[in-house]
Structure 1
Amino acid sequence: MQFDTPHLIRYGITALVIGLILALRIRRMSKARPLTLERLWIIPTLYALLVASLFVQAQPSLGGWALCAVALAVGAGLGWQRGKLMQLSVDPVTHQLNQKASIGGLLFIVALIAIKFIGQAEGSALHLDVMLLTQAFGAMALGLFSAMRVEMYLRGKRLLARARAAL
């Protein structure tokens, strides 16, 4: 059995960095953070620009566009579910909306990143179009981030309306 040491080192360092970031993020997740509904559009907009730049760099074929459209739809469905995992609450006194992330949602994102990383690393060896794979994962992530924030926005608006109506 022969090992490819540079790849093993790269995978090990990547796993270590992701593990460290994950540990720090899980520690912060136990605290509720303020949620401003008016700012939920910012991340999806920035990510849409990033994904658009991927499509400007290399135009996919018709089949590639179809794959990216399916990835966007799958990402939107997964994002909606991830948005539901976010715990939203309203402070009864100040009516401040707060969010608390779920560990399940974070682990889901880490799994997607790992799949993308492995796919890109092994894509050329498997004769996959790495750029198309990157575009499809970008479209999926765009759907995920956008739908997650739409779900949080709608639920947050309902929670705030109920809290204000209870006055």
Structure 2
Amino acid sequence: MAASNHLGIWIAVTIVALVMLLRAREIGRERVLKLRWVWVVPVLVVSGIGFMLSRQHPDAAQIGGLALGAVLGLPLGWHRGKLTALRLDDASGALMMRPSAASMVLLMGLVAARQYTRFQMMDMPPSPWLDMASEALLGMAIGSVCAFRVELALRGRRLLDGL
């Protein structure tokens, strides 16, 4: 594999690690959840991954792996959403959320598994199975993020509606 591909993977690993460290600082801290903005993160994730895939020209196996991973990631995201505490602030009436450590560990595990798979692929001959597994892990992250945000939106709406 070319040195530029090695550099690209290391840049991606560095960016992911920085984002995860910044997100990990929020564990246990309560913050306001604005329901009108819950759709932004899934749109950004899907757009970013779509852009990345448009540059890679994935084959049918990779797209199948991505789709399968997205379906398998949905229950993980739902579970992440259930692990996140939501409440209404009595004083302000704002919807508050507190991300859980288990929720972050689930997401970090998916990202770490994909990066490890990509790293292992650097010095190996091309393998459609590894490509498919790598894309499936990426799909799981997509499904997880989308289901997580939908779960937060549904639970948040019920809290705000008083149910």
Equivalent residue number for residue 7 of structure 1: none
CA distance in structure 2 between the partners assigned to 1:162 and 1:96 by the alignment = 13
CA distance in structure 1 between the partners assigned to 2:61 and 2:127 by the alignment = 14
Equivalent residue number for residue 102 of structure 2: 104
Q: Figure out how many residues of one structure are paired with residues of the other and give that number.
A: 148
Stretches of structure 1 that go unaligned for 5 or more consecutive residues are 1-10
CA distance in structure 2 between the partners assigned to 1:58 and 1:51 by the alignment = 11
Stretches of structure 2 that go unaligned for 5 or more consecutive residues are 1-9
The DSSP-based 3-state class of the residue aligned with 2:92 is coil
RMSD across aligned C-alpha pairs, in angstroms?
2.8
Kindly indicate whether the alpha-carbon contact (under 8 Å) linking 2:113 and 2:137 is maintained by their aligned counterparts in 1: no
Equivalent residue number for residue 160 of structure 1: 160
Kindly indicate whether the alpha-carbon contact (under 8 Å) linking 1:60 and 1:132 is maintained by their aligned counterparts in 2: no
Equivalent residue number for residue 56 of structure 2: 58
Q: Considering only CA atoms, is the larger Rg found in Structure 1 or Structure 2?
A: 1
Kindly indicate whether the alpha-carbon contact (under 8 Å) linking 2:75 and 2:147 is maintained by their aligned counterparts in 1: yes
The DSSP-based 3-state class of the residue aligned with 2:26 is helix
Kindly indicate whether the alpha-carbon contact (under 8 Å) linking 1:71 and 1:137 is maintained by their aligned counterparts in 2: yes
Higher mean C-alpha deviation, range 132-141 or range 26-35: 132-141
Higher mean C-alpha deviation, range 71-80 or range 52-61: 52-61
Cα deviation 1:25-49 (Å, max 9, x = unaligned): 5553222101100001111111111
Equivalent runs, 1:34-45 vs 2, <5 Å = 34-45=32-43
| Runs of 4+ with >6 A deviation | none
Identity of aligned residues (%): 28
TM-score by length of 2: 0.77
Equivalent residue number for residue 3 of structure 2: none
